[in-house]
Amino acid sequence: MADGRKFIISRGEQVGTWGYKLNENDTSFDVIETFFEKYNEGMEPEVIKASILQQFSFNVDNFDESDDVFFPLAHCLWEVCALDKELLAFVRERIESGANLEVLKELDANDDFLKERKAMLDKFLVKISVQRDKPKARKKPPVRVESPYQAGSCLVFQYPDGSYGGVVTIETDFFSTKGNIALALTNIRAKAKPLFEDFERANLIGFEWEQVHGQAERYAAVKIDGKLYTGRMNRFGTFYNNKLERETLFERLDYHFQIIGAFPAFTQILCSTFRLNIADCPQRFDNYYRNTTDSISSQMLQELAVKLSTNFKSF
């Protein structure tokens, strides 16, 4: 444990870091983000509540994880003056009985963490027990910006030595004043400009299969021996926070990259890249990456980074 404010949890094969605050675990953060995305789109609070309870039903049905949904949901509803008596009563019972702290204690939270958590929950309960004067104003949804760079796009670029490389666009979110693009590097490095067929035969650097459970099953790409898996890979990308940065990013992308094709969908990249049976993919990846040294991958990423803005980051 780094300090008393955060601790590492492990539930089966799921591992994460929790802070004592309401939004400092992955599920609670997702609930808050999802709630206000729907709220700003004009959806009514009671409809959002039903949608979230359905979306996070795996956590709701798990006693140890249900507070990760109910606590942030109660706070969101309070902020828009829509917190119902039933949910408030449930949250009150969970806090006053110490049930939430008991769950965290069983997950090996230390005394300092539990003390911080209790103080936060006590203040939280006092806060939501008094209705707000007026609901939080809805924000105008951001304006989406069209771009030829989409999930699945195959991009060719040149390394400093003149050889050609290739990346696959994993995710894009382009809005007028904020956005990002995430890319995955392939092992393509050739003297001649690659074709789309070269991407179909390429390997994604830093890839591994990860078994998924519960809510995460909706991200599964393949089913092997009855178990669901998603592809976990090293991604890198860049982002912008205003119009000028957006224009600069698009100029850099157009200058350094050329789109030469696209896979039909991100979840199909793993299958499209290899003309193999799905069950054979893990062995193929494993054999390749054991022979790809970290230093080579790191050098290729560093060389590619110079093509992007100063907002470059790996994640």
Give tens-digit pLDDT for 65-93: 888 899 999 999 999 999 999 999 999 99
C-beta neighbour count of 140 within 10 angstroms:
7
Is the pLDDT score of 271 beyond 90? no
User: What's the pLDDT at 264?
Assistant: 63
Confidence of residue 217 (pLDDT cuts 50, 70, 90): low
Q: What percent of the chain has pLDDT over 90?
A: 31
- Per the domain annotation, does 135 fall within a domain? no
Q: Give the number of domains in the chain.
A: 2
pLDDT band at 4 (very low <50, low <70, confident <90, very high): very low
The pLDDT score that the predictor gives to residue 27 is: 84
Domain shared by 214 and 297, yes or no:
yes
Q: Edge-to-edge strands of the sheet including 222-224?
A: 208-211, 227-232, 222-224
Residue 13 lies in a domain: yes
Q: Are residues 193 and 286 in the same domain?
A: yes
Cβ atoms of 73 and 45 within 8 Å: the answer is: no
Do 69 and 200 belong together in one domain?
Answer: no
> The dihedral of CA 237, 243, 244, 249: what is its sign?
positive
pTM comes to: 0.56
How many C-beta atoms surround the C-beta of residue 115 within 10 A? 14
94 and 235: one domain?
no
Q: What is the pLDDT of residues 160-185, one digit of tens each?
A: 889 999 988 888 889 888 888 888 88
The mean pLDDT value of the chain amounts to 77
- Which residues lie below 8 Å from residue 98, measured CB to CB, with a gap of 6+? none
Q: Is position 146 within any domain?
A: no
Let me know whether 107 and 170 are in one domain.
no
Is 92 contained in some domain? Answer: yes
Q: Which domain holds residue 72?
A: 6-128
- Is the pLDDT at 278 greater than 50, yes or no? no
The verdict on 72 and 157 lying in the same domain is no
Do both 228 and 114 map to the same domain?
Answer: no
Instruction: Please give the average per-residue pLDDT across 93-105, as a whole number.
Output: 89
Residues 263 and 119 in one domain: no
In a domain, 113, yes or no: yes
What is the rounded radius of gyration, in angstroms, for the C-alpha atoms of the chain? 23
- Do 117 and 166 lie in one domain? The reply is no
Residues 70 and 185 in one domain: no
Whether residues 14 and 81 fall in one domain: yes
Tell me: do 292 and 168 sit in the same domain: yes
